[in-house]
């Protein structure tokens, strides 16, 4: 059938995506059982802990319990498990709960203004140890500490402080003998990928701090990620970017020095946007099982802790998250360009692998999978004689051809962060576009992770410039190669990617339209009205405020709305504390006043991003319809 690009009918609909898909994250191993977290749009975005035992998956959390925390607003690490008992933070009331097998959730903390996350269990003293964020002082910045909470529930306390005095804490790790607590800390204005410090605090028999914490590694210009104890407690492993790349290190407590394991120009760590992250795990027999990223794609490997030698594990995956190990068993979340996110278990001795759960079964249906496009890694020239990167998804649908030399429209996708990266895992939302005859470029602009510290730091002081240039140059590169139509190129992004979208549409004359998903339009407002975790982030991305107030105005799309002539659609959650709704509404009003085509969808009960099925569906369909009417000039076949 012959039809214009952008008008093709596809079985990959918004209904199919929200009906079939779940989010998978945060793997845990407890004894012989495997656990993971599922985010379910069909249940209003509820997060459910699932246990795999006896060859089947069992939900642990009864509705309406929702294992989610809002520490740092982005959360993560809302639950842990030990001895078959689940400990979790419930999103509705922020309290910690204990759930014994076969029982009902029991609250451990009172209803108050504290948030909890990133916990571990001190079995000897029957307590939970983790990060607490205190929001009780109205009008003042929340206070972060590491606390212990009685796991019996008898005390009903908000926690006893074990360490305090820094702006942020993460990754508490208790030594096997319970005598030492390792943790990370950092202060404003640094983000955890800029500089963190790794400490070890001695504990007495009662579990109280004994003496001053000892600084192990890190500082203002060294990012430490994920400390883990050796199984016998003789050493501490961690990831550091002191070489310019996040590599693995070991600190033997019998030796004064720290040694690097398997040094490579590759990334064994990730930006710590959420708590509870894990890119490697300590296995037995002197092994670490790790994931790492090289040139934008991930691999799984085993590192011999004695020799430092690294051996890759052959898998069909290119994206790894939440790596855990116990004995010969390794469990993780993984995906690739042709397979959705999945919970996978590998036996190191036999090499046998097993998929325990998939984010969607759609890829298993050949009548749907035949519409999937391939992904291509692209490198393209950008400003300053440098190279930037991206993942390109060509328009594809086996049911259609086009007449003549028509080229497909292009959607340029900007990831959030901006210190994040495009995922190589199958994303049905990308296939939603490509199967309709619209190509997609997912840009890893300067500032993205996965390419070393120097690449991340391209964005220092240049947010709104380097990222925008790279998105424009990526689109131009594809157009000059004859792969897309430059007259029908649009740009879309969420959060920081929404800012890049609005900046590209305001300050460059290339894209013909775009979509901002909970994006930033006024940098000064963001600097003055956002949450603690990112309240000083703009110091490095733009400059200190108010000293650089003029620079903030210069780079804010809202301050230059008169320059924006392209159609834009906005999506916003009414409970967003990261990018408050007033950011979006000021921009929408400015565009309406000047008569520029604009759309605005405000989602009730959504925070920073859409989690509910109905919100995801409405956003997908509305964005496609908006482009079709205002940019692509085609009829739609849903």
Q: Which residue segment(s) compose the domain that 558 sits in?
A: 371-632
Does the structure show a pLDDT above 60 at 638?
Answer: no
Rg (CA), the chain: 24
What letter does residue 473 receive in the DSSP assignment?
H
Answer yes or no: is 422 within a domain: yes
Rounded to a whole number, what is the largest CA-CA distance in the chain?
79
Answer yes or no: is 285 within a domain: no
Question: CA-to-CA distance for 199 and 52, rounded, in angstroms?
Answer: 35
Does the structure show a pLDDT above 90 at 255?
Answer: no
Answer yes or no: is 603 within a domain: yes
Run of H or E residues at 186: strand 180-186
Model confidence at 636, pLDDT cuts 50, 70, 90, reads low
Does the structure show a pLDDT above 90 at 254?
Answer: no
Per-residue pLDDT reduced to its tens digit, 437-489: 999 999 999 999 999 999 999 999 999 999 999 999 999 999 999 999 999 99
Q: Which residue has the tokens 């360490």?
A: 163
CB 87 within 8 A of CB 96: yes
Q: Work out whether the CA dihedral 73, 69, 272, 59 comes out positive or negative.
A: negative
Structure tokens at 59: 């939900």
More confident residue, 239 or 579: 239
Structure tokens at 233: 């407690």
How high is the mean pLDDT of the chain? Answer: 94
Answer yes or no: is 226 within a domain: no
Does the structure show a pLDDT above 90 at 295?
Answer: no
Structure tokens at 286: 């002197």
What letter does residue 575 receive in the DSSP assignment?
T
| Predicted pLDDT of residue 327 | 92
Answer yes or no: is 519 within a domain: yes
Model confidence at 411, pLDDT cuts 50, 70, 90, reads very high
Cis amide prior to 269 (ω within 30 degrees): no
Q: Is 526 helix (H, G, I), strand (E, B) or coil?
A: helix
CB count, 10 Å around CB of 167? 18
Does the structure show a pLDDT above 60 at 549?
Answer: yes
| Predicted pLDDT of residue 154 | 86
Q: What percent of the chain has pLDDT over 90?
A: 84
Answer yes or no: is 375 within a domain: yes
Q: What does 233-266 look like in DSSP terms, one character per residue?
A: SSEEEEEE-TTSS-EEEEEETTSSSEEEES--SS
Answer yes or no: is 602 within a domain: yes
Q: What does 109-162 look like in DSSP terms, one character per residue?
A: S-SSSEEEEEEEEETTTTEEEEEEEE--STTS--EEEEEEEETTSSS--S-EEE
User: What are 367-371's contacts with CB under 8 Å, separation 24+?
Assistant: 367/11, 368/11, 368/12, 368/16, 370/398, 371/10, 371/11, 371/12, 371/396, 371/397, 371/398, 371/431, 371/435
Does the structure show a pLDDT above 80 at 23?
Answer: yes
Does the structure show a pLDDT above 80 at 315?
Answer: yes
Per-residue pLDDT reduced to its tens digit, 25-53: 999 999 999 999 999 988 988 999 999 98
Mean pLDDT of 86-110: 96
Q: How many residues does the chain have?
A: 638
Q: Which residue has the tokens 């019996």?
A: 152
More confident residue, 332 or 521: 332
Mean pLDDT of 258-280: 97
Mean pLDDT of 318-339: 95
Angle at 14 between CA 422 and CA 441, to 5 degrees: 25
Answer yes or no: is 468 within a domain: yes
C-alpha 355, offset from chain centre:
22
Model confidence at 575, pLDDT cuts 50, 70, 90, reads confident
Q: What percent of the chain has pLDDT over 70?
A: 99
Q: Is 345 helix (H, G, I), strand (E, B) or coil?
A: strand
Angle at 522 between CA 521 and CA 527, to 5 degrees: 130
Q: What is the dihedral of CA 393, 398, 400, 406, to 10 degrees?
A: 30
Model confidence at 367, pLDDT cuts 50, 70, 90, reads very high
Q: What is the dihedral of CA 29, 35, 39, 42, to 10 degrees?
A: 170
Model confidence at 634, pLDDT cuts 50, 70, 90, reads confident
CA-based nearest residue to 211, from 139, 163, 142: 163
Per-residue pLDDT reduced to its tens digit, 139-148: 899 999 999 9
Whichever domain contains 455, its CATH number is: 3.40.50.1820
Determine whether 211 is exposed, middle or buried from the number of CB atoms within 10 Å of its CB (0-12, 13-18, 19+): exposed
C-alpha 31, offset from chain centre:
28
Question: CA-to-CA distance for 324 and 318, rounded, in angstroms?
Answer: 17
Run of H or E residues at 226: strand 224-229
| Pairing of β 598-603 and β 568-573 | parallel
| Predicted pLDDT of residue 607 | 85
What letter does residue 401 receive in the DSSP assignment?
B
Mean pLDDT of 555-580: 90
Question: CA-to-CA distance for 260 and 310, rounded, in angstroms?
Answer: 12
Mean pLDDT of 308-325: 96
Per-residue pLDDT reduced to its tens digit, 192-206: 999 999 999 999 999
- The structural domain count of the chain equals 1
Model confidence at 576, pLDDT cuts 50, 70, 90, reads confident
Model confidence at 313, pLDDT cuts 50, 70, 90, reads very high
| Predicted pLDDT of residue 17 | 87
| Predicted pLDDT of residue 18 | 82
Which of 203-212, 248-257, 322-331, 574-583 is least confident? Answer: 574-583
| Predicted pLDDT of residue 635 | 62
Mean pLDDT of 290-296: 93
CA-based nearest residue to 245, from 198, 307, 193: 193
Does the structure show a pLDDT above 60 at 82?
Answer: yes
CB 598 within 8 A of CB 565: no
Angle at 593 between CA 587 and CA 594, to 5 degrees: 95
Mean pLDDT of 114-125: 97
CB 263 within 8 A of CB 240: no
| Predicted pLDDT of residue 337 | 87
Question: CA-to-CA distance for 333 and 341, rounded, in angstroms?
Answer: 7
| Predicted pLDDT of residue 637 | 55
| Predicted pLDDT of residue 404 | 86
Structure tokens at 49: 């802990």
Ramachandran angles phi, psi of 576, nearest 5° = -70, 120
Does the structure show a pLDDT above 70 at 512?
Answer: yes
């Amino acid at each position: 059938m012959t039809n214009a690009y952008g008008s093709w009918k596809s079985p990959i609909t918004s209904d199919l995506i929200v009906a079939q898909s779940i989010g998978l994250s945060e793997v845990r191993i407890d004894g012989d059982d495997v656990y993971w977290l599922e985010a379910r749009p069909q249940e209003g975005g509820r997060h459910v802990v699932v246990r795999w035992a006896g060859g089947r998956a069992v939900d642990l959390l009864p509705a309406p319990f929702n294992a989610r925390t809002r520490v740092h607003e982005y959360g993560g690490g809302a639950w842990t498990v030990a001895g078959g008992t689940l400990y979790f933070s419930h999103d509705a009331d922020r309290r910690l709960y204990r759930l014994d097998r076969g029982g009902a959730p029991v609250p451990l903390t009172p209803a108050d203004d504290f948030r909890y996350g990133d916990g571990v269990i001190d079995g000897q003293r029957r307590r939970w140890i983790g990060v607490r964020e205190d929001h009780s002082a109205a009008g003042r910045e929340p206070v972060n500490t590491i606390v212990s909470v009685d796991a019996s529930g008898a005390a009903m306390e908000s926690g006893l402080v074990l360490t305090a005095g820094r702006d942020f804490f993460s990754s508490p790790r208790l030594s096997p003998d319970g005598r030492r607590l390792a943790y990370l800390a950092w202060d404003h204005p640094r983000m955890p990928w800029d500089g963190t410090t790794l400490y070890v605090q001695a504990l007495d028999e009662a579990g109280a701090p004994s003496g001053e914490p000892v600084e192990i590694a890190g500082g203002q210009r060294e990012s430490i990620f994920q400390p883990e104890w050796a199984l016998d407690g003789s050493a501490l492993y961690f990831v550091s970017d002191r070489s310019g790349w996040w590599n693995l290190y070991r600190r033997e407590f019998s030796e004064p020095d720290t040694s690097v394991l398997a040094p490579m120009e590759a990334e064994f760590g990730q930006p710590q946007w959420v708590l509870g992250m894990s890119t490697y795990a300590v296995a037995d027999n002197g092994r670490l099982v790790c994931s790492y990223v090289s040139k934008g794609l991930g691999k799984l490997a085993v590192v011999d802790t004695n020799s430092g030698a690294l051996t890759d594990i052959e898998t069909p995956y290119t994206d790894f998250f939440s790596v855990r190990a116990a004995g010969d068993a390794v469990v993780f979340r993984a995906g690739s360009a042709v397979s959705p996110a999945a919970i996978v278990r590998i036996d190191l001795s036999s090499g046998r692998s097993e998929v325990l759960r998939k984010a969607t079964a759609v890829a298993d249906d050949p009548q749907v999978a035949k519409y999937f496009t391939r992904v291509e890694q692209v490198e393209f020239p950008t400003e300053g004689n440098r190279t930037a990167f991206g993942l390109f998804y060509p328009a594809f649908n086996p049911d259609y051809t086009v007449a003549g030399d028509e080229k497909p429209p292009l959607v340029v996708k900007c990831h959030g962060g901006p210190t994040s990266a495009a995922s190589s895992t199958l994303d049905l939302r990308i296939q939603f576009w490509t199967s309709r005859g619209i190509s997609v470029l997912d840009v890893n602009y300067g500032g993205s992770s996965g390419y070393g510290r120097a690449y991340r730091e391209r964005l220092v002081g240049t947010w709104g410039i380097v990222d925008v240039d790279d998105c424009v140059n990526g689109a131009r590169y594809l157009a000059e190669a004859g792969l897309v139509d430059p007259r029908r190129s649009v740009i879309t992004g969420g959060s920081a990617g929404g800012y890049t979208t609005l900046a590209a549409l305001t300050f460059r004359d290339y894209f013909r339209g775009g979509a901002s998903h909970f994006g930033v339009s006024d940098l000064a407002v963001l600097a003055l009205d956002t949450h603690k975790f990112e309240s000083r982030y703009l110091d490095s991305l733009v400059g200190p405020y108010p000293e650089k107030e003029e620079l903030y105005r210069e780079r804010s799309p809202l301050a230059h709305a008169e320059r924006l002539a392209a159609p834009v659609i906005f999506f916003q959650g009414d409970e967003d504390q990261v990018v408050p709704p007033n950011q979006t509404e000021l921009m929408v009003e400015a565009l309406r006043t000047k008569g520029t085509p604009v759309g605005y969808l405000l989602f009730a009960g959504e925070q920073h991003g859409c989690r509910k099925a109905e919100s995801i569906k409405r956003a997908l369909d509305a964005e496609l319809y908006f482009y079709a009417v205002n940019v692509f000039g085609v009829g739609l076949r849903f």
